[in-house]
Each structure stands twice: as C-alpha cells, then as structure tokens.
Amino acid sequence: MSEDEGTRTLVVVRHAKAEADGPTDSERRLAERGHGDAAAVGAWLAERGIVPDHALVSAAVRTVQTWDDIADAAGWDLEPDVDETLYAAGPETALDLVRAVPDDVRTLVVVGHNPTVATLAQLLDDGEGDDEAGNQLALGYPTSATTVLSYDGDWEDLADASASVVAFFVGRG
C-alpha cells in the first residue's frame, strides 16, 4: 500500500424490498415500501458522513432503483458502475469485482442481491469491529440491510477476514 493511502470504507447493501413479480426477475421493480427503505439507508449513511467515490451496482432494475433512492436521500451525485456480472455473481465473483475497483477509490458502495451480499459481508468480517454490528450481521440480511466495513489495504488485496464491521443497519422507511 502506498504511503498516502489510509483506511478504506466498503458499504455492502442488499437491494430494498421489491415487487414479487416482473416480466423477468432482473426487471422486478421496487415495491413502494422499498423506495422508503432505500431512502432510510441513504439518510443513515449521510448521517454517518459516508460519501462514496465509486458505486458498484447490479444491473437488475431493483438494485439500480435502490441505488438511486439511497443516493437521492444521501445527497450524492455519483453515477454508479452498473454491472451485469454482479446480478448473478456469487461471493467470490463479487469479491473479484471489488478487488478490481481503481486504487484511488477510498469509499465504495456495492448494491447487490442475497445470498451473495450477505455472504460477502460475513466473509470479509475479521471479527475485530463493532460487536453489536457484527452480531446483527450474523442474524440475517433482510432487504435494505447495509454493512459498513473498514479496511486497511489496497482493494486488490481484499481477502476473507480482512475488514472490520463498523456499522450495520436495516432501512425501514
């Protein structure tokens, strides 16, 4: 890691509550409740002072809508990197996508699907962070679940048990 690099922040978000049906699974839209829940996540992240440099968002309609609602509520003006691969990615593929993020990114938000995002957050947790947040993470990952992890290192070196859970939140608007 270069001398001017410090701690990085990774925010892992499960999409908000979606409609049960759509033309295809990837075209399912957020339910009305989902929009409010995603906005609650954005407000919570803004209260924590989190401002991303980069966002990696699954190409599914519900994840893009989740990102839009989070960003609007947080006051962020950032175009996400909408990625087709993240839609069907397993945890290792999702981790590879995070490892490919540019080095100058300090704060990254990933918006994806379960079970991938829950497993990713759990795999990265080194158990050294906030105990209450870590316990909440272990209890489940409902829609709008959001984990904030702190990581000291380059994205390309991110590995299992290499980041600390510093906060956990489930948006309910």
More confident residue, 19 or 6: 19
Cβ within 8 Å of residue 75, ≥6 positions away: 46
pLDDT confidence tier of residue 6, bands split at 50, 70 and 90: confident
pLDDT at 4: 41
Report, as an integer, the average pLDDT of 17-40.
Answer: 97
* Mean pLDDT computed over every residue of the chain: 95
Quote the pLDDT of residue 5. 56
pLDDT at residue 3 greater than cutoff 80:
no
* pLDDT computed for residue 156 by the predictor: 96
Which phi and psi angles does 152 have, rounded to 5°?
-105, 100
Which structural domains are found in the chain, ordered by start? 7-170 (3.40.50.1240)
The pLDDT value given to residue 26: 96
The predicted-structure confidence for 72-106, as pLDDT tens digits, reads as follows: 999 999 999 999 999 999 999 999 999 999 999 99
Per-residue burial over 25-61, b = 16 or more CB atoms within 10 Å of its CB, e = otherwise = ebebebbebbbbbbbbbbbbbbeeebebebbbbbebb
23 DSSP assignment: S
pLDDT for the residue 10: 98
Categorize the per-residue pLDDT at 1 as very low, low, confident or very high, splitting at 50, 70 and 90.
Answer: very low
Band the pLDDT of 13: cuts 50, 70, 90. Answer: very high
Radius of gyration of the chain (CA): 15
